[in-house]
Chains A and B, each alone.
Chain A
Amino acid sequence: GAVVSQHPSRVICKSGTSVKIECRSLDFQATTMFWYRQFPKQSLMLMATSNEGSKATYEQGVEKDKFLINHASLTLSTLTVTSAHPEDSSFYICSARHHGAMTNEQFFGPGTRLTVL
């Protein structure tokens, strides 16, 4: 149990285009999902917390108009990188927390590698 998937696993796009990444909890309902970004030299950043049915909460310094997050159902959150540029190339990772969970445990997806040309 507690499987999280991401789609696509890899995407290459041209500069200026928008890219949507999906995060799904396959066998549980997730009220809360998180989006992370991992830079080439492995450092991590939490971008935002996505709550089902409400606006995402972005971490300080993250451009909300650049990284659009939608959490329309208890099993799906999407991250759209708008007007992507080469500096947005990164490994994007989502995680999900069980609906009604008593613990803080998060379950991670396998990540999406975005390359912007």
Chain B
Amino acid sequence: AQKVTQAQTEISVVEKEDVTLDCVYETRDTTYYLFWYKQPPSGELVFLIRRNSFDEQNEISGRYSWNFQKSTSSFNFTITASQVVDSAVYFCALRILTVGGGFKTIFGAGTRLFVKA
């Protein structure tokens, strides 16, 4: 069965701290995609990253970085020097190809990040 676990329901940090949001996934497929999305208090989703299972290179985009570890089935997201504007709910997702040839995307429950000034 496929599953995405975001074990941290809520995290609270002080501005300028670094914070890592964990994402652990389960799948037997060798080909899959992993995503991170951000949903700020306004409610409008923001796409952050898509990574395919064959690309294990870590990615950095400004203050954001992602650590993909197939050995531990994790795709963790780190925000460096957090800012108040980073306060949001962050979702991790796994996308797989189903037996019938279609797709299925499984979302984690989300981690709510509070960044205090």
Contacts and interface: CB of A to CB of B under 8 A. Distances in A.
Given A60-B104, A95-B45, A105-B47, A43 B98 contact: no
A91 B43 CA distance: 10
Contact of B50 (A59, A104, A111): A104
Interface residues of B, number: 21
B102 interface: yes
Contacts of A106: 47
A110 B102 contact: no
Contacts of A109: 44
B45 A93 contact: yes
Nearest to A109: B44
Contacts, number: 51
Contacts of A93: 45
B68 interface: no
A95 B39 CA distance: 13
A111 B44 contact: yes
A60 B103 contact: yes
A67 interface: no
Interface string B66-89: 000000000000000000000001
A58 B113 CA distance: 31
Interface in B37-62: 37, 39, 43-47, 50
Given A44-B93, A49-B103, A59-B105, 16 more contacts: A42-B109, A42-B110, A43-B107, A43-B109, A44-B91, A44-B110, A45-B105, A58-B102, A59-B102, A59-B104, A60-B102, A91-B43, A93-B45, A108-B44, A110-B43, A111-B44
Interface of B: 37, 39, 43-47, 50, 89, 91, 93, 95, 98, 100, 102-105, 107, 109-110
19 contacts: A44-B93, A45-B105, A46-B93, A46-B95, A57-B103, A58-B102, A59-B102, A59-B104, A60-B98, A60-B102, A60-B103, A60-B104, A93-B45, A104-B50, A107-B47, A108-B45, A110-B43, A110-B44, A111-B44
